[in-house]
Homo-oligomer: A and B are copies of this chain.
Amino acid sequence: MQALPPLKFDSNGLIPAIVQDAETDEVLMLAYMNQESLQLSLQHGETYFWSRSRSGLWHKGATSGNVQRIVEISIDCDADTLLIRVDPAGPACHTGNRTCFYRELRA
């Protein structure tokens, strides 16, 4: 296990991670990491998350093949959010859309 800079995980032990395409700068998704998924991400250079709905570790792309190779991880000023720039092997969204943010909110 590698040493990490102090990060603020929430009361459930999670930190939100914004995933952005490193080439197009498109925001792809928001997911959550716990300490273990962050360590796995750093170790393997691909994104691992904690699935809140399935209560389990989730290697993004393990089933679909659409892994996300990590290019860079940044921390925000409060150290309670991560920004992960990736090189995605395919669509980020389970709907097949390139990004999960494919719907516009209309007031």
A binding-site residues for B, Cβ under 8 Å: 2, 4-5, 16, 18, 20, 24-27, 29-30, 42, 72-78, 81-83, 93-95, 97, 100-107
Contact = CB atoms under 8 A, between A and B. Distances in A.
Contacts of A97: 77
Copies per complex of this chain? 2
A74 B25 contact: no
A12 to B, nearest CB: 11
Given A5-B105, A74-B104, A81-B101, 6 more contacts: A18-B27, A24-B25, A30-B76, A74-B105, A77-B97, A78-B100
A51 B81 CA distance: 15
Contacts of A29: 76
